[in-house]
Amino acid sequence: MPADSALVLSFAAVLASWAPYVAALDREGAVDAAKRQLKSKCTAATPCTFSAKAEGAKWYVRVEFTKRNGHAILIFDQTGKLVGRVEGK
């Protein structure tokens, strides 16, 4: 029985070490997160364009409002949580 417990604990440790990589955001995920945040502002009638770049552990998504002047930069952590926002003209 102790051998089984050791195997289960080892397997659990391996799975736990993978968790940050499973939750890590990529470019497409960052853009999708920005689209969810701005779904009321970016519609078929008022489309937006999105571009994303990673800096450190954060994603910066620039959103251009195409039917009106202005842009926004949304900052996401690796889990997709919005951690900052900058509005521009």
| Every domain of the chain and the residues it spans | 24-88
Structure tokens at 6: 């050791």
Residue 83: half-sphere exposure toward Cβ, Cα within 13 Å: 12
Residue ranges of E strands in 1-89: 48-55, 58-65, 71-76, 82-88
Least confident interval from 8-12, 23-27, 53-57: 8-12
Specify the pTM: 0.71
Least confident interval from 20-24, 28-32, 52-56: 20-24
Which residue matches tokens 């945040």? Answer: 37
In this structure, which topology does domain 24-88 adopt according to CATH? Answer: Nuclear Transport Factor 2; Chain: A, (3.10.450)
pLDDT tens for each residue of 64-76: 998 777 899 999 9
What type of residue is 50? F
Chain Cα centroid distance, residue 69: 25
* More confident: 5 or 32: 32
Of 35, 36, 30, nearest in space to 59 by CA: 30
